[in-house]
């Protein structure tokens, strides 16, 4: 069994995409919602706390998807898939946020 077969094999690809997108939206929404809380802003200065927030949001999305979609069961394999998906989501979020920052810098130049 290859890596991609393990990650995407037994769970529908639509569920994977829904998980990744939902995790990104929930994480971004929490950041926007809590952006006025001083301790939260201080914590978000550290990459460790950003990753912890992503893991918490990913866990919540994982639980909601388990309750919502009967084809998305919680087993040992899906928990391992969850770990891989969150790692992929964190990497994707880093790429997206870096590109967004570059675009903002480029637009702000005279």
In a domain, 56, yes or no: yes
In a domain, 4, yes or no: no
d(CA 82, CA 70): 16
Per-residue pLDDT reduced to its tens digit, 15-61: 777 777 887 788 888 888 888 888 888 887 877 777 777 778 878 88
Continuous segment of H or E residues that includes residue 72: none
- Write out the residue range of the structural domain in which residue 96 sits: 12-108
Per-residue pLDDT reduced to its tens digit, 62-88: 888 878 877 666 677 777 777 777 777
Q: What is the pTM of this model?
A: 0.59
By CB atoms closer than 10 A (0-12, 13-18, 19+), residue 42 is exposed
In a domain, 2, yes or no: no
Continuous segment of H or E residues that includes residue 75: none
In a domain, 20, yes or no: yes
In a domain, 37, yes or no: yes
**Nearest alpha carbon to residue 85 among 65, 55, 63, 60:** 55
Number of domains within the chain: 1
In a domain, 7, yes or no: no
* Owner of token pair 């394999």: 77
Contact 81, 7 (CB under 8 A): yes
Contact 66, 39 (CB under 8 A): no
Between the two ends of the chain, the Cα-to-Cα distance in Å is 53
The pLDDT score that the predictor gives to residue 34 is 82
């Amino acid at each position: 069994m290859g890596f991609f077969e393990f990650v995407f094999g037994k769970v529908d690809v639509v569920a994977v995409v829904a998980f990744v997108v939902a995790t990104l939206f929930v994480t971004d929404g929490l950041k926007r919602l809590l952006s006025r809380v001083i301790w939260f802003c201080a914590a978000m200065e550290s990459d460790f706390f950003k990753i912890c927030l992503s893991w918490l949001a990913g866990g919540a999305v994982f639980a909601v998807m388990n309750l919502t979609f009967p084809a998305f069961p919680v087993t040992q394999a899906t928990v391992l898939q969850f770990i891989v998906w969150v790692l992929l989501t964190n990497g994707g979020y880093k790429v997206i946020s870096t590109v967004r920052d570059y675009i903002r810098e480029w637009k702000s130049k005279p």
